Amino acid sequence: MPEHEILPPFQGSAVPHVGTYRRVLPVSLERMYENSLDWEHLPHVHSSSFSQIDCEAEGPWGWRAALVSPGGDASVVELRLDRACRRWITRNLSGPAAGAEIWTHAFPIEPRRVDIVVDFFVPGVAAEQRSRLGQAYARLYERLYDEDVAMMLERQRQLDRRIDGVRDNERVVELGVREDLELPLAVTVGGREYVLAQVEDDLVIFPRQCPHQLGPLDGRDLQDGVLRCPWHGYRFDVRTGNCVSGQRCRLSNLPEIRLGRSGEVTLSAAC
Ligand code: FES
Ligand SMILES: [Fe+2]
């Protein structure tokens, strides 16, 4: 980044300002941009604030989506990302908060430390009510960012592992006798992490990282042979690897599970 930079003039919102939330996050600017464009995670990672989302339009510019709150309130929200100004603006186009705008500016301090300044602009609020409303928005954003930071850190950790690799590179792993195994069981085969689990009487195996964006698949959400990723809610049939929630991705490159005569379980990396 250059030492000095001249940005286009700041054109603030025309809507009254009610408060600001500021925080330093231990993530890169790239993770922040990615998170802002990721409308799909809202009802999953932030389930106490959103229960449903239907995207109407999306692109590198941002997205526009119909959202439903857990209380049943419907709204249309648009987010526009402006990388040149390192900011994104969220506008409530309809719904209970229609006209409200949230402007987030991001200031990278280090490669993986970003100072964010989130300004809340809400129309039709009496001057003496603004500060209280601003604090309520700040508390909401505190929680949303707690949830986002956990997701962004885990994604960064998984991306780093892809580059650094996993030390344990055994292509054939003997696990011992099936009855002695505590399932679900995390295992590393051929340098990749998997989870061995049981569905009815069958042993199944799936990757510990979701094929979509590396979300954690630890097996806790495995129900009736269907695994649900906590980040965007994609669901996978662990017997076939197919995504059963309609998206175009699947669980693949799975090790072969072999059972010996005395019930010994051996895993072999896929070729
Ligand atoms: S990371 Fe997106 S559904 Fe798993
Ligand atoms: Fe989020």
pLDDT tens string 188-206: 999 899 999 999 999 999 9
Establish whether residue 215 lines the binding site of ligand 1, counting it when its CB lies within 6 angstroms of any ligand atom. yes
Give me the residue spans of the domains in the chain. Answer: 17-164, 172-268
Tokens 């998984």, located at residue:
158
Phi-psi sector, 167: left (phi>0), alpha (psi -120 to 50), beta: alpha
Does 1 have pLDDT greater than 60?
A: no
- Look at the alpha carbons of 151, 45, 88, 54 in this order and tell me if their dihedral is positive or negative: positive
Assigned superfamily of 172-268: Rieske [2Fe-2S] iron-sulphur domain (2.102.10.10)
C-alpha 116 – ligand 2 centre gap (Å): 14
Establish whether residue 231 lines the binding site of ligand 1, counting it when its CB lies within 6 angstroms of any ligand atom. yes
C-alpha 147 – ligand 2 centre gap (Å): 7
For residue 2, with 0-12 CB atoms within 10 Å meaning exposed, 13-18 middle and 19 or more buried, which class applies? exposed
The pLDDT value given to residue 257: 97
- 219-243 per-position pLDDT tens digit: 888 999 999 999 999 999 999 999 9
Inter-residue contact 78 to 98 (CB < 8 Å): no
Mean pLDDT of the chain: 94
The pLDDT value given to residue 8: 61
Tokens 């941002």, located at residue:
62
Establish whether residue 213 lines the binding site of ligand 1, counting it when its CB lies within 6 angstroms of any ligand atom. yes
Establish whether residue 210 lines the binding site of ligand 1, counting it when its CB lies within 6 angstroms of any ligand atom. yes
Does 2 have pLDDT greater than 60?
A: no
- 82-93 per-position pLDDT tens digit: 999 999 999 999
Ligand that lies nearest to the alpha carbon of residue 36, given by its number in the listed order: 2
C-alpha 10 – ligand 1 centre gap (Å): 36
Establish whether residue 36 lines the binding site of ligand 1, counting it when its CB lies within 6 angstroms of any ligand atom. no
- 97-147 per-position pLDDT tens digit: 999 999 999 999 999 999 999 999 999 999 999 999 999 999 999 999 999
Establish whether residue 212 lines the binding site of ligand 1, counting it when its CB lies within 6 angstroms of any ligand atom. yes
The atom of ligand 1 lying closest to the CA of 229 is 4
The atom of ligand 1 lying closest to the CA of 213 is 1
Assigned superfamily of 17-164: START domain (3.30.530.20)
The pLDDT value given to residue 166: 62
C-alpha 228 – ligand 1 centre gap (Å): 9
pTM of the model: 0.91
**CA pair distance 37, 62, nearest whole angstrom:** 6
The pLDDT value given to residue 10: 61
Token readout for 128 is 């003496």
Closest residue by Cα to residue 51 from 66, 35, 33 = 66
The pLDDT value given to residue 206: 97
- Dihedral (C-alpha) 53, 56, 61, 67: value to the nearest 10 degrees? -30
- The pLDDT of 157-162, averaged and rounded, is 90
